[in-house]
Amino acid sequence: MRGIDSNLLEIKNFSKLSRKEITHIGPLLVNKYKFLLHIEPDQLKLKGAEKISDTWYVSYWQTFGGMIIYESSLGFSIDPQGRVKSLGALLYPNVEVPRASKISHEEALKIGQKQIKDYKKLRCRLLAEGVLIYPVKKINSIDYYRVYAFNFFPEVALHPASVVGGWAVFIDTQTGKKVLYEELLKPLGCCIPEDWVPPKLEEMKPKW
């Protein structure tokens, strides 16, 4: 999404804003353009905010019911003059997913461990986990799964110089079935968000 005749947002006194105020710009953009994005500002969870050469790069996950939607994203940059010229997003407007889990965490963890060949022999460790929403795209629809997401890594992968990877395993919280199994390059964590709370609407009124 790009401004055609103007910027999406122009921020006055941009250089004086704190990092916290910078992270509130995402919800502000969503509130301004929700007629196009079809989500609410409180559905964002901060993924990262980094300043490189006087330009800020800010990104978020989309959430639903407090859960991150896997591979969702909303991101933009703010140039040194405080201008947001465009934003990129992969969002899911009409999410339908169970509100509670039928399979316990302990059951799901055991199922996840069994997906790894030689789990005990490799001395695998659970380095990241969470409950999130996993969307599966079909031709004319999207299926949404509430899943336990586990990141397993063998002990040898924990050495800083190691090039050995690990595995992400997603277990359906309703059936206990595996819905995703994929290799991970390094133990970065797939679903551990920064401790950040979306601002309330009254807190999003521009101070610039």
Asked whether 125 and 155 are in contact (CB, 8 A), the reply is yes
148: containing domain: 105-184
Residue 191 falls inside a structural domain: no
Q: Which of 23, 31, 48, 30 is nearest to 91 (CA)?
A: 30
Side chain identity at 197, as an amino acid letter?
A: V
**Do 18 and 72 sit in the same domain of this protein?**
yes
Residue 84 falls inside a structural domain: yes
When pLDDT is cut at 50, 70 and 90, the band that residue 206 belongs to is low
Residue 193 falls inside a structural domain: no
**Do 86 and 119 sit in the same domain of this protein?**
no
Residue 204 falls inside a structural domain: no
**Do 19 and 86 sit in the same domain of this protein?**
yes
**Do 87 and 153 sit in the same domain of this protein?**
no
- pTM of the shown model: 0.85
Please write the tens of the pLDDT for every residue from 185-196. Answer: 765 555 555 566
Residue 6: per-residue pLDDT: 75
Residue 208: per-residue pLDDT: 45
Of 36, 69, 95, which residue constitutes the final position of a domain?
95
The distance from CA 168 to its chain's CA centroid, rounded to whole angstroms, is 15
Please write the tens of the pLDDT for every residue from 1-37. Answer: 565 557 899 998 888 889 999 999 999 999 999 999 9
Please write the tens of the pLDDT for every residue from 93-149. Answer: 889 999 899 999 999 999 999 999 999 999 999 988 999 999 999 988 999 999 999
Residue 128: per-residue pLDDT: 87
**Do 31 and 91 sit in the same domain of this protein?**
yes
